[in-house]
Amino acid sequence: MRQIPIVTVIGARPQFVKAAVVSRELTRQEQIREILVHTGQHYDYEMSAVFFKELGLRAPQYNLEVGSKPHGEQTAEILAKLERVLVKEKPAGVIVYGDTNSTLAGALCAGKLHIPVAHVEAGLRSWNRRMPEEINRVVADHIADILFCPTATAVRNLETEGIQRGVFNVGDVMLDAALIFGKDGATKKAFFANGVLQRYGLAAKGYFLITIHRAENTDDPDRLHRLLELLLELHAPAIFPMHPRLGKLLAMSRRLRKMRLQLQNWPDLQVVQPVSYLEMLALEKNARAIITDSGGVQKEAFFLQTPCITLRQETEWIETLADGFNALVGADKKKFLRAISRLDKIRARLAGQKKPEGFALFGGGKAGARIARILARVWR
């Protein structure tokens, strides 16, 4: 059988999780041959290789090795290098994920070569153009021929921008991922059995899980300082797997270096390297609450029914805000402390629920299969 080549472009941590779900399903479509291109945007073992290993992703056929650069340079280098790959491989289509510079460059490069683009996680909007992610996703959506939306909200967002053709509400591949990888496939044991709590001496439901990495929070030293001060208000065990972006920024000024030292010496707080995906799911599932600015982590909190406090002014994932489950506090101390004081109430409400509310809103865990079926039908 003649196989149709399609190219998947990924490069940053959350894209490895999303692509792992779709790649599994594409292998079931015999007429498709997937060519994996890693842009090299993320490259540390904990930010890249560990995901390939843990999620069973094939080694990429191409690694563009662009590394860390300013936005323009990084995007341009991906464009130039990817163009050579696409010209050589002549794929029937290119799949891009989410909203990183790798997404933008992948969509733009394929679009200019008249190769159809499928955008997974299309239609998300924060309506805040100061976020690099917002620019990336708006451009990718307007180039894409096939737009795989995770929610009905995303479909409506596209409609407001006049995009209606090629739009499919397939559900969220990150829900698929949490359901697939959240279980130990061999034993069907619940994922919190993987030992990460013991390793860090954490008691189930007895600690906060923290992540901070978004440019809007880290690039302004005053805001970053204010955010980190909030963490000193917790007075409870907490674990903070630190994104390398933040690690490096904290070394850059005397004030931030001092803050870093204070965090490191704070009795209840463990600042650790980024953890693997399975470890992260276990930490999320068992946390008392999650404090984050990550898009993916807000959703996982919702899927796993762990209350979330989001260190941003707005969110693309508005479904998670229902009933105060995800509290948007920005860098505001009063709002932060109020959100903490409400956690017990939220937990009590969740305990009375049988099935997590989010599953239906996010496609029920079948997004990957739907995407693969549609691509096999459309790209021939």
**Interface with ligand UDP (CB under 6 A):** 13-14, 17, 211, 213, 241, 274-277, 280, 294-297, 300
Q: Phi then psi for 326, rounded to 5 degrees?
A: -115, 115
For 100, counting Cβ atoms within 10 Å of its Cβ (0-12 exposed, 13-18 middle, 19+ buried), the class is buried
Q: What is the C-alpha to C-alpha distance for residues 350 and 326, in angstroms, rounded to an integer? A: 13
Q: What is the C-alpha to C-alpha distance for residues 128 and 146, in angstroms, rounded to an integer? A: 24
Q: Rounded to an integer, what is the distance from CA 324 to the centroid of its chain? A: 21
Let me know if 114 is a catalytic residue. Answer: no
101 is in the binding site of which of ligand UD1, ligand UDP, none (Cβ under 5 to 8 A by kind)?
Answer: ligand UD1
CB of 258 to ligand UDP, least distance (A): 24
CB of 238 to ligand UD1, least distance (A): 20
Instruction: Using CB under 6 A, list all residues that contact ligand UD1.
Output: 12-14, 41-44, 47, 68, 99-101, 132-133, 213, 244-245, 248
CA geometry: angle at 16 spanning 316 and 179, to 5°?
A: 75
Q: What is the C-alpha to C-alpha distance for residues 6 and 35, in angstroms, rounded to an integer? A: 6
17 is in the binding site of which of ligand UDP, ligand UD1, none (Cβ under 5 to 8 A by kind)?
Answer: ligand UDP
Paired tokens of 342:
């409400």
**Which lies closer to ligand UDP via its Cβ, residue 6 or residue 47?**
47
CB of 214 to ligand UDP, least distance (A): 7
Residue 100 region by backbone torsions, left for phi larger than 0, else alpha for psi between -120 and 50, else beta: beta
**Which lies closer to ligand UDP via its Cβ, residue 113 or residue 138?**
138
Task: Look at the block and give the residue holding tokens 């309506």.
Answer: 127
CB of 112 to ligand UDP, least distance (A): 25
Paired tokens of 322:
């229902």
**Which lies closer to ligand UDP via its Cβ, residue 11 or residue 296?**
296
**Which lies closer to ligand UDP via its Cβ, residue 14 or residue 60?**
14
CB of 374 to ligand UD1, least distance (A): 25
Those residues with Cβ within 8 angstroms of residue 243's Cβ, 6 or more apart along the chain or in another chain: 211, 212, 213, 274
24 is in the binding site of which of ligand UDP, ligand UD1, none (Cβ under 5 to 8 A by kind)?
Answer: none
Q: What is the C-alpha to C-alpha distance for residues 51 and 56, in angstroms, rounded to an integer? A: 8
Residue tagged active-site, from 38, 119, 213, 243: 213
300 is in the binding site of which of ligand UDP, ligand UD1, none (Cβ under 5 to 8 A by kind)?
Answer: ligand UDP
Q: Rounded to an integer, what is the distance from CA 277 to the centroid of its chain? A: 11
44 is in the binding site of which of ligand UDP, ligand UD1, none (Cβ under 5 to 8 A by kind)?
Answer: ligand UD1
**Which lies closer to ligand UD1 via its Cβ, residue 135 or residue 350?**
135
Active site residues: 213
